[in-house]
Amino acid sequence: MSEVGAEKKGGWFSRLTSGLKRSSSKLGDGITGIFTKRKLDDDALEQLEELLIQGDLGVATAAKVTAELARTRFDKEVSPEEVRSALAEQIAGILEPVARPLVPDPTHKPHVVLVVGVNGSGKTTTIGKLATLYRKDGKRVILAAGDTFRAAAVEQLQIWGQRTGCPVVARQTGADAAGLAFDALKQAREEAADLLLIDTAGRLHNKTDLMAELQKVIRVLRKIDESAPHEVLLVLDATTGQNALQQVATFKELVEVSGLVVTKLDGSARGGVLVALAEKFALPVHAVGVGESAEDLRPFEARAFARALLGLPA
Residues of the chain with pLDDT > 70, as a percent, come to 96
Q: pTM higher than 0.85 for the full model?
A: yes
Say whether 123 counts as a known binding-site residue.
Answer: yes
pLDDT single digits (tens) 225-262? 999 999 999 999 999 999 999 999 999 988 999 999 99
To the question of whether residue 202 is assigned a binding role by annotation, the answer is yes
Q: Is 265 annotated as a binding residue?
A: yes
Taking alpha carbons only, the member of 262, 261, 273, 263 closest to residue 293 is 263
Residue 85 annotated as binding?
no
User: Any known ligand binding at 126?
Assistant: no
Task: Report pLDDT digits (tens) over 46-58.
Answer: 999 999 999 999 9
> Is 266 marked as a binding-site residue?
yes
* 132 annotated ligand binder: no
Neighbours of 158 (CB within 10 A): 15
Instruction: Return the HEC string of the chain.
Output: CCCCCCCCHHHHHHHHHHHCHHHHHHHHHHHHHHHCCEECCHHHHHHHHHHHHHCCCCHHHHHHHHHHHHHHHCCCEECHHHHHHHHHHHHHHHHHHHECCCCCCCCCCCEEEEEECCCCCCHHHHHHHHHHHHHHCCCCEEEECCCCCCHHHHHHHHHHHHHHCCCEECCCCCCCHHHHHHHHHHHHHHCCCCEEEECCCCCCCCHHHHHHHHHHHHHHHHHHCCCCCCEEEEEEEHHHCCHHHHHHHHHHHHCCCCEEEEECHHHCCCCCHHHHHHHHHCCCEEEEECCCCHHHEEECCHHHHHHHHCCCCC
User: Has 122 been labeled as part of a binding site?
Assistant: yes
Q: According to the annotation, is 264 in a ligand binding site?
A: yes
Express each pLDDT in 190-203 by its tens digit. 999 999 999 999 87
Arithmetic mean of pLDDT, 76-105:
95
Residue 8 has pLDDT above 60, yes or no: no
Please tell me whether 263 is known to bind a ligand: yes
203 annotated to bind ligand: yes
Task: Give the rounded distance of the alpha carbon of 104 from its chain centre.
Answer: 17
124 annotated binding-site participant: yes
* Residue 10 assigned as binding residue: no
**Confidence (pLDDT) at 10:** 60
pLDDT digits (tens, 9 = 90+) for 137-188: 999 999 999 999 889 999 999 999 999 999 999 999 999 999 999 999 999 9
Rounded-to-integer distance, Cα 160 and Cα 292, Å: 13
Residue 239 is assigned to a ligand binding site: no
Distance CA 145, CA 177 (A): 8
Q: How confident is the model at residue 2 (pLDDT cuts 50, 70, 90)?
A: very low
pLDDT of residue 124 exceeding 70, the answer is yes
